[in-house]
């Protein structure tokens, strides 16, 4: 796999070595058991896969390349390049500005741009409508386009489904940048509809089977269907694709459920005519990270920690998994750890940061640690070092790290 040129401060002295060792031992990624790092009485249980994925490293490399190759140009990010505050803040420190926020609200009018400016398309991609606006101005949006190849794969699959007259069912959050982009692309090729989760999929299935009225369907999927979408005719032949950061297991659950709906409506013999096999649209990195997280849940720990941006969809799903078994804390970096006793953790349900009791007084601690696909390893290192500082002197920690190396 390609090696990306990512600024050195995103790397780490601890996690990078762990990943390199596991890659050497398991190049085909068949072993999803976690790594255990022992620092005296503190054990960190590290997920087999986590942190920067191919798409994120590609986006970071291209963004810094744009900075270094164009010192005299105005450079803009269409929106957050990835959902990690530290990465976006560092890019802004180099003079980059955001044109939009994550929900698509305009921060800087496109009308102020000129053909001499550069605009970096984020890893999530963007809509065809925005591409057209920028292209009409003459802005270069291709040289440093950081759209993830796996997002583009979903777009290409949607195009193929449109050619065979399938309606596109997108598993995603309809306000997420990636889903907005995928919806824009798929809508040009076929009728398209967004389902957030299995519950919405079941409403869709109930309508297909004639179990609920049209009004219920329209209320549920308001602003989530393409223009001129006709539920009566556009749900005869479907294919499911996904926002690549969603839970892969839920995408599969939705697909299998809708397949059963189509069998019930049209019969087993005709199923291939009514729902496409779209398992090839699942992102390998998302799938690996989630599988590694499930492996963490097979063991025991005193607590779990997930590190990453609070608006990161893939990171949130890791929290959803781990909190089913463990007391799970979600933090963006080590600064959220106030002390040994208290931590500022983000609640994914209330969307608020909460001050919570942290480490207990027991001598030994077994701590699960993982991060989202947009979180630098150096930030995970910082979390480990902060926790170790509550138990050991700097000399002891240095001794541990020396022996680890």
Q: Which residues pair with 354 in a beta bridge?
A: 345
In this predicted model, what pLDDT tens digit does every residue of 81-101 receive, in sequence order?
777 888 888 888 988 899 998
DSSP state string for 143-168:
TT----HHHHHHHHHHHHHHHTTPEE
* Pair 46, 36: CB distance under 8 Å: yes
Residue 94 and residue 75: Cα distance in Å, rounded?
A: 10
* Percentage above 90 pLDDT, the chain: 71
38 HSE (CA, 13 A, CB side): 3
* Of residues 190, 231, 191, the one with CA closest to residue 207: 231
In this predicted model, what pLDDT tens digit does every residue of 4-46 receive, in sequence order?
677 777 878 889 889 988 999 999 889 999 999 999 999 999 9
Residue 3 burial by Cβ neighbours in a 10 Å radius (0-12, 13-18, 19+): exposed
Task: Specify the pLDDT at position 395.
Answer: 81
pLDDT band per the 50, 70, 90 thresholds, residue 172? very high
Pull the structure tokens for residue 189: 């090729």
Collapsing DSSP to helix, strand or coil, 3 comes out as: coil
State yes or no: is 178 an active-site residue: yes
* Pair 366, 74: CB distance under 8 Å: no
User: Which of 131, 177, 178, 336 is an active site residue?
Assistant: 178
Q: Give the E-state strand segments of 47-174 in sequence order.
A: 75-77, 97-98, 118-120, 167-171
Task: Specify the pLDDT at position 236.
Answer: 96
Residue 306 and residue 319: Cα distance in Å, rounded?
A: 6
pLDDT band per the 50, 70, 90 thresholds, residue 2? low
Top pLDDT among 136 and 363 is at 136
pTM: 0.85
Please give the domain boundaries of the chain with CATH numbers for all domains: 8-53+285-404 (3.40.1010.20), 54-137 (3.40.50.11270), 149-281 (3.40.1010.20)
Task: Specify the pLDDT at position 88.
Answer: 86
Collapsing DSSP to helix, strand or coil, 300 comes out as: coil
Residue 24 and residue 199: Cα distance in Å, rounded?
A: 42
pLDDT band per the 50, 70, 90 thresholds, residue 342? very high
Please determine, for residue 187, whether its predicted confidence score (pLDDT) is greater than 60: yes
* Pair 309, 374: CB distance under 8 Å: yes
Please determine, for residue 402, whether its predicted confidence score (pLDDT) is greater than 60: yes
Q: Give the E-state strand segments of 165-286 in sequence order.
A: 167-171, 192-195, 238-242
* Pair 309, 376: CB distance under 8 Å: no
């Amino acid at each position: 796999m390609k090696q990306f040129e990512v600024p050195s401060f995103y790397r780490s002295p601890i996690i990078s070595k762990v990943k390199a060792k596991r890659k050497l031992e398991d190049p085909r990624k068949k072993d999803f058991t976690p790594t255990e790092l022992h620092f005296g009485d503190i054990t960190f249980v590290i997920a087999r896969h986590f942190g920067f994925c191919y798409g994120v490293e590609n986006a970071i490399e291209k963004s810094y390349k744009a900075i270094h190759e164009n010192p005299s140009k105005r450079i803009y990010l269409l929106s957050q390049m990835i959902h990690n505050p530290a990465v976006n803040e560092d890019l802004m420190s180099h003079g980059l500005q955001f044109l939009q926020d994550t929900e698509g609200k305009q921060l800087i009018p496109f009308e102020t741009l000129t053909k001499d400016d550069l605009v970096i398309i984020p890893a999530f991609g963007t809509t065809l409508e925005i591409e057209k606006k920028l292209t009409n101005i003459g802005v270069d949006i291709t040289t440093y386009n950081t759209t993830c190849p796996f997002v583009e794969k979903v777009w290409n699959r949607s195009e193929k489904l449109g050619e065979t007259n399938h309606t596109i069912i997108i598993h995603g959050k309809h306000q997420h940048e990636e889903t907005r982009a995928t919806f824009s692309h798929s809508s040009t090729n076929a009728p398209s509809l967004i389902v957030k989760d299995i519950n919405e999929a079941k409403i869709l299935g109930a309508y297909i089977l004639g179990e609920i009225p049209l009004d219920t369907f329209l209320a549920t999927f308001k602003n989530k269907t393409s223009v001129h979408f006709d539920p009566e005719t556009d749900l005869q032949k479907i294919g499911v694709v996904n926002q690549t950061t969603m839970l892969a297991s839920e995408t599969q659950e939705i697909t299998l459920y809708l397949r059963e709906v189509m069998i019930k409506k049209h019969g087993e013999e005709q199923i291939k005519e009514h729902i496409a096999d779209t398992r090839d649209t699942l992102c390998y990195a998302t799938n690996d990270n989630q599988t590694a997280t499930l492996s963490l849940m097979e063991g025991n720990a005193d607590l779990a920690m997930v590190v990453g941006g609070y608006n990161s969809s893939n990171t949130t799903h890791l929290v959803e998994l781990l909190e089913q078994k463990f007391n799970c804390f979600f933090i963006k970096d080590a600064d959220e750890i106030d002390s040994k006793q208290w931590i500022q953790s983000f609640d994914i349900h209330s969307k608020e940061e909460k001050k919570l009791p942290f480490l207990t007084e027991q001598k030994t601690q077994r701590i699960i640690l993982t991060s989202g696909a947009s979180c630098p390893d150096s930030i995970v290192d910082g979390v480990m070092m902060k926790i170790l500082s509550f138990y050991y002197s700097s000399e002891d920690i240095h001794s541990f790290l020396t022996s680890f190396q």
